[in-house]
Structure 1
Amino acid sequence: MGVSPDTAQNLLDELFLISRALRRTLAQPEESSLLPGGISVLVNLESAGPCRQVDLAAQIGISASAMSRHITELVTDGYVLRNADPDDGRAIRVEVSPTGHELLGRIRESRVRGVQEVLADWSQTDAEHACYIMHKLRSDLIARDSRSAAAAPQKNSEERRNAH
């Protein structure tokens, strides 16, 4: 049957509000000195490992210019290192610095403690169920995005053929 438009809108509203509440409630003072999204860039870079900025931007889904601003700021603050790409001397790779790893560790520890405090009256089962539902939603969103990306080149090819 599917989900009604009202339920879908309510879920979108809740996700937006949860995101804002998480940022407001669990943010560390050190985060406020960074551009919005800076910690996300750092987390994604840590996960990706040393890579080119353009590849990281594509992975996260932001423009190359936005990524450049983030990386410049993170390098200036000592959280990211720029190094020559060993496979292509003309290219630069970025990676999280030891200071960046320390920052992420402090942020993770603080956020975990904060969420534990918020969930103090939840059962372990309820928390695990919430994790399951959020994971399922994220997986379904990623799957939809992958299907859309795969369909886009095919659609463009069809449009070019029909134009002739």
Structure 2
Amino acid sequence: MTARTVSADEALDVVIAMHRLMRRLRRTGHNGTVHPTQLIVLALLNQYGPLRIGELARRVPCSQPTATTAVAGLLSAGFVDREPDPTDGRATRVAATAAGLDILRSFAHSEAEVLAELMSTLPKDDARLVITAAPVLSTLADLPAADPAPDDDASPPSA
């Protein structure tokens, strides 16, 4: 079974809806504590373990300089540490600290509470549809880019 072609207009509706929802969830607190790119970096480190900067940039996706800036802010806040790469003595990997995982859980919990509250206002079938879509959205997020992703961060992340 093959998927039908999705038009750019249909995809645009999804993009706008996701941006609006994420903006609403990000207003739940922690304003200024961690930049959204830094939050994604922490989530990736939690999911995959220690990673090199280049791998973080690929997975976010963002440019390598943006990933470096995000990691620098997380380092100065004590949310990540650098460690030697066991496969290449010249390279380092970034690993989340206990404090980094705590702030990630705090963000995720706050946003999840707001989302659960919002979803509780939906009809049961619609709420189930949103929950069922989560793994599909993760799959889309993990697909390799056709070409290098432009660095679309409006401003560099800060601690």
Seen in structure 2, the aligned counterparts of structure 1 residues 84 and 141 have a Cα distance that, compared at 3 Å, is: closer
Seen in structure 2, the aligned counterparts of structure 1 residues 62 and 133 have a Cα distance that, compared at 3 Å, is: same
- How large is the RMSD of aligned CA atoms in angstroms? 2.6
Aligned length: 144
Q: Distance in 2 between matches of 1:141 and 1:84?
A: 28
Q: Distance in 2 between matches of 1:142 and 1:93?
A: 20
Question: Are 1:60 and 2:60 matched, yes or no?
Answer: yes
Give the helix-richer structure, 1 or 2: 1
1:127 maps to 127
Output the amino acid matched with 2:22: S
TM-score, scaled to structure 2: 0.73
1:61 to partner: Cα distance: 1.9
Higher relative contact order (CA 8 A, sep 6+): 2
Task: Please identify, of 77-86 and 3-12, the stretch whose mean Cα deviation from structure 2 is larger.
Answer: 3-12
Output the amino acid matched with 1:109: H
Seen in structure 2, the aligned counterparts of structure 1 residues 100 and 141 have a Cα distance that, compared at 3 Å, is: closer
Q: Distance in 2 between matches of 1:76 and 1:124?
A: 44
2:156 maps to none
* Structure 2 residue matching 1:37: 3-state secondary structure: helix
Identity across matched positions, percent: 26
Output the amino acid matched with 1:16: H
Q: Distance in 2 between matches of 1:134 and 1:12?
A: 15
1:100 to partner: Cα distance: 0.7
1:83 to partner: Cα distance: 1.1
1:113 maps to 113
Task: Please identify, of 101-110 and 120-129, the stretch whose mean Cα deviation from structure 2 is larger.
Answer: 120-129
* Structure 2 residue matching 1:95: 3-state secondary structure: strand
2:21 maps to 18
2:50 maps to 50
Give 5+ residue unaligned stretches, structure 1. 150-164
Show CA shifts across 1:101-143 (max 9, x none): 1111222222222222222333543211122245445545756
